[in-house]
Structure 1
Amino acid sequence: MKACARRRFAARVWPAVVVSVVALGLGGCGGGGGGGDEVASAGDGKAKASKTGQGEIARYVEGQRRYVRCLREEGVDVPDPDAKGRIDYGDARELKADPKFTRAQVKCQEFSLPVPEELERQQVPKLSAKEIATRKRYAKCMQENGVPEAPDVGDDGYSDQDFANDGEMKWDPTSARAKRAIRICAPIIGDPVDPGKGKG
């Protein structure tokens, strides 16, 4: 069964961490020259990005509506998705055990789109200043101890990797260098788990 909202950031290998949204700060420009144009250009870019995100959300929600209609046509009674495309399936275990639902899922899967990054960003819990600082320290520690490709943590405590729909990590958590870095950095987040020895 496909989850109505994927929270990959909670399950990834960074023990309770590894998460970042890169914050785009617009610096103020002094008077004269092309400063005003630069600010306007940056603002336009941000507005376009926002519109793109909203467009993806609209397409996702419409896809969820079509998905629900398809399920109903296949004999599965499910409610309409909410404004953000979430579907309340009720008893998930009962649905999973229903062969009719399984068949309908396969037939209707073309309409069920990945949750847009912008929507996932909107749904993540807001972190405290202490939590954000801890996650930034952990990310920096990982990068300085053998995993330079570990994602940066942004000003809200999340990383772009946490919202990627491909499910792939940019670094191998099973490698020896990653396991070593995790052992070194674990105390920062209060993680007592020893990741063991890596294979290479």
Structure 2
Amino acid sequence: MVAYSKCMRTEGVRDFPDPNAQGKIDLGSGKKFDPNSDVFKAADTKCKKLLPDGGNAAPPPAAVGPAQINYAKCMRENGVPKFPDPNAEGGIDLNGETLGVDPTGPVFKAADDKCKHFLEEAAGGAPRVEKTGGP
């Protein structure tokens, strides 16, 4: 999966993420690429041979699950009202024109900070613990 990620970046998808500790690649949290773009598709065609089973393995079940839906809903509730739901592959088009907010700006980043726990927990991370009161 690491080799696939590196290949995707080499082939023009500059912000393609590395896999997490569970070997999964998150295509939906704050990334600035479109999985439906020609560049992405061309890179995937060249790089998928690096995936397990050459990319022919069945996609993981529930590519879009409650975590992605909850993340999108949370983003809309926290300052990014046009944040889209993920597509069938779990990808989200994050261009500023569609969102109405700069995906590299402070409003988007603040919303992502509040909402990314949905994706982190789904990827096997620790549940979010909110700090209240005092230092």
- TM > 0.5: no
Whose RCO is larger (CA < 8 A, sep 6+)? 1
- Structure with higher helix content: 1
Query: TM-score under structure 1 normalisation?
Result: 0.32
Query: TM-score under structure 2 normalisation?
Result: 0.43
- Higher alpha-carbon Rg: 1
